[in-house]
Structure 1
């Protein structure tokens, strides 16, 4: 699946066949606990202990919402709650605010107020993050750094990473800082830099940017008080180089602050990296494939996250339609595969761990379903619950809980 931002029709270098998609939808229809999401919001379920799940849709200009009961593991569709390009969605950590990253020219992020009772959205702001329009849209990621009240932005199309201040009410200010990545790779999709993910390290002194196009993880210095990004060395940003054509896509930080995990999209490999927070350097410890033995055909990895306690790492493989779980060694940070399971759909574009740690939601983009898995917090292993909701081309997931804790 080529998920490079674009303004024309969706391109599918390895689109599943019509029979595959219809088969997946048929399975979902027979096992799902809830029906297809309606085009308009339905009456909301009582709030009680239920959560709100917001789902972005690739190329559909819609944001969908679902009511989730984390006690019983049931999902109730609310429907389409906003008409907005939604390459990525994320929820404010404490306030009823949803941020939606667009795919159109200008790098727009739209701010919505959440109605906790109904799940409905009301737009309250909008920020353009590109200094010069790129001619094509494509924010690949937004995420909240709650320590500095900053929205982190990876702009795939423009080749830039940016920071945007978040006000006490959850609103966004003007772009505080913007840096331009450089470089390219051998793949036709790597003609220039394409940031795909951005995180702040545990020391709060560095920003790490996984750049799909440059085959690099760039390391910028981060000034928390001003939210400014700057070169980490006199010669420019620090960088960890991956193999040519690997396409770095996602990063996950271990809670110990000493280990960083990197998922490469084009080669579908997972790397454990030692992180030196004093000097801002990454050193490879281990590299593992997320492909099954004897893999043939398309190779593509997509999503990566770590459990809150740091014991387990979760990845998705779009070439094989699988989820792969790894255990981490708390002393060395090294990984051991513990499970490989079907994603219960086609093209697991992304997934998100529920803040409680008991559930994993998978956005199966090509089959148009969000599937629910139960997480065994002792072993890290996943069990398909058979519960799913139908959403057109789901690409990202964010949570709003009654206590105001966002996820992932």
Structure 2
């Protein structure tokens, strides 16, 4: 049975600006007391365990889970922060978690991570919208590969931005902001709504998948300053099918192929990327719905294996995970597996760095489910293991750092 699709993201969901400012004051006052479950699960970790941080849709919490990558076991630690959390991500080198808020203003908050206990301590916050839009919603945030900035997709404001980070991972300032334009035929596409932003491997461009405009916008990107700009002739763009709602895009490790997933039509494109001209050219279009699909259509998340041999998609209309093999050297795709997601509404998913595990945030069923990944075949196996988290929407992994934990435990 197909589930009713989730309501339009970020539309009219934020509290008033007065309420937000009041809540921020309360958060700042409470920030000196890290939140951590008092259950036995909060005991000292094993020799080398990872920490999962999970955003919660409309629950104003971040939850933590301890994960043992050897045994594949997950131990819930409960809520470790009380804050709006439409997307979570970790610094590539520092023990810092960043949380994108769903309220007006485009807030990003930083939290120091205690690698031993999983506890969080708020260390900063920044408002990325110069003029609040009246309805909130950051749809995505992620650090650049060098850890020098955060990339921000502001669904509500129709803008993409960069926020500088200091050497220790602290939030700096809004370095740049660019405004998308356009709309689509779906009622949810009345204005531009950036859903994802990535920097290309050449570090000369930033690509923005815009759900509302049915476009992938291509902006100039200056790597030393982390600044986005429109260029002399404005941004380049790639147009998708009207009403498709581009949601996620990921580069293949070869640097020449981009995979683009659209939410409203649940289709997956393989695009050629020309880093000299900053242009995208379509090479393949596939449907991620099952052949017998009926009812609502909604694709959500996209991931590529480290070796580039496999591509993974979450399909919310079918409550399924779909696996594709990527043919070398073209990067073109062939579907090889389709499995139930283990719950309802697979909002997002995250591949473990080892390539052996896939975490799935099933938002409606309020579970994070663990799948095993066969690195040789790319196939997924439901481990049957899950943890209860209220309405999970995103998963960030803080990978084990045994030296840091040894020092912290002294």
TM over 0.5: yes
Report the Cα distance in structure 2 between the residues aligned to 1:129 and 1:9, rounded to whole angstroms: 15
Q: Partner residue of 1:95?
A: 94
Report the Cα distance in structure 1 between the residues aligned to 2:147 and 2:53, rounded to whole angstroms: 24
Q: CA RMSD in A?
A: 1.5
Flag the 1:49–1:134 CA change in 2: closer, same or farther, 3 A.
Answer: same
Q: How far off its partner does 1:402 sit?
A: 1.8
Report the Cα distance in structure 2 between the residues aligned to 1:324 and 1:66, rounded to whole angstroms: 25
1:257 is paired with a residue of what secondary structure?
Answer: coil
Q: 2:382 aligns with which of 376, 381, 384?
A: 384
1:311 aligns with 2:320: no
Report the Cα distance in structure 2 between the residues aligned to 1:280 and 1:345, rounded to whole angstroms: 39
Q: How far off its partner does 1:41 sit?
A: 4.5
Asked if the contact 2:36/2:119 (under 8 Å) is kept, the reply is no
Matches within 5 A, 1:17-28: none
Q: Partner residue of 1:198?
A: 197
Q: How far off its partner does 1:47 sit?
A: 4.1
Asked if the contact 2:359/2:368 (under 8 Å) is kept, the reply is yes
Q: Partner residue of 1:19?
A: none
TM-superposition CA deviations, 1:238-297 (whole Å, max 9, x none): 000000000000001011110000000000000000000000000000000000112111
Matches within 5 A, 1:20-39: none
Asked if the contact 2:371/2:380 (under 8 Å) is kept, the reply is yes
1:174 is paired with a residue of what secondary structure?
Answer: strand
Q: Partner residue of 1:321?
A: 319
**Runs of 5+ unmatched residues, structure 1:** 11-37
2:125 is paired with a residue of what secondary structure?
Answer: strand
Q: Partner residue of 1:81?
A: 80
Asked if the contact 2:144/2:151 (under 8 Å) is kept, the reply is yes
Report the Cα distance in structure 1 between the residues aligned to 2:274 and 2:401, rounded to whole angstroms: 35
Asked if the contact 1:353/1:361 (under 8 Å) is kept, the reply is yes
Report the Cα distance in structure 2 between the residues aligned to 1:79 and 1:396, rounded to whole angstroms: 15
Asked if the contact 1:41/1:80 (under 8 Å) is kept, the reply is no
Asked if the contact 2:363/2:392 (under 8 Å) is kept, the reply is yes
Report the Cα distance in structure 2 between the residues aligned to 1:41 and 1:275, rounded to whole angstroms: 50
Asked if the contact 1:44/1:119 (under 8 Å) is kept, the reply is no
Flag the 1:9–1:235 CA change in 2: closer, same or farther, 3 A.
Answer: closer
Report the Cα distance in structure 2 between the residues aligned to 1:148 and 1:61, rounded to whole angstroms: 26
State TM-score, norm by structure 1.
0.90
Q: Partner residue of 1:162?
A: 161
Q: Partner residue of 1:15?
A: none
TM-superposition CA deviations, 1:353-374 (whole Å, max 9, x none): 0111100000000000000000
Asked if the contact 2:184/2:242 (under 8 Å) is kept, the reply is yes
Q: How far off its partner does 1:3 sit?
A: 4.4
Report the Cα distance in structure 2 between the residues aligned to 1:96 and 1:387, rounded to whole angstroms: 27
**Runs of 5+ unmatched residues, structure 2:** 1-5, 16-34, 403-410
Q: Partner residue of 2:37?
A: 40
**More relative contact order, 1 or 2 (CA 8 Å, 6+ apart):** 1
Q: How far off its partner does 1:148 sit?
A: 6.0
Report the Cα distance in structure 2 between the residues aligned to 1:331 and 1:368, rounded to whole angstroms: 39
The number of residues matched between the two structures is: 376
Q: 2:370 aligns with which of 369, 372, 377?
A: 372
Asked if the contact 1:47/1:116 (under 8 Å) is kept, the reply is no
Q: Partner residue of 1:54?
A: 53
Report the Cα distance in structure 2 between the residues aligned to 1:330 and 1:127, rounded to whole angstroms: 43
2:188 is paired with a residue of what secondary structure?
Answer: coil
Flag the 1:220–1:8 CA change in 2: closer, same or farther, 3 A.
Answer: closer
State TM-score, norm by structure 2.
0.90
